[in-house]
């Protein structure tokens, strides 16, 4: 797979994951915890796909292929890291909303 295409795939999967994590937070705020957890699972699957593509790039570089640090690559990494942060935040918000709902 071409490097640029791999980067765009990272951006796509990461963006999808971030959107699903945000949807999960909104659903938890609305006390729909079952659907919020379902969104979490879907988002984690997207995040896993992004990680797999990132791993492909790392393997290429480890095998000696030079990966140029382009703005596109940095953008892809930014999307991935933001999605990873959103995962942590979504999990915490869902726990918080669940706890508030039980009071």
Catalytic residues: 75
**Distances 19 to 1, 4, 43, 87, 103 between C-alpha atoms, Å:** 26, 23, 8, 10, 29
Ramachandran angles phi, psi of 10, nearest 5°:
-60, -45
């Amino acid at each position: 797979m071409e490097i640029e295409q791999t980067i765009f795939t990272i951006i796509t999967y990461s963006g999808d994951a971030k959107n699903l994590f945000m949807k999960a937070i909104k659903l938890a705020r609305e006390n729909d915890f079952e659907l919020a957890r379902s969104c979490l699972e879907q988002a984690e699957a997207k995040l896993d796909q992004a990680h797999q593509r990132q791993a492909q790039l790392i393997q290429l570089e480890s095998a000696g292929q030079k990966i140029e640090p382009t703005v596109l690559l940095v953008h892809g990494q930014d999307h991935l890291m933001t999605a990873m942060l959103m995962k942590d935040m979504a999990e915490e918000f869902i726990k918080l909303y669940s706890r508030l709902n039980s009071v």
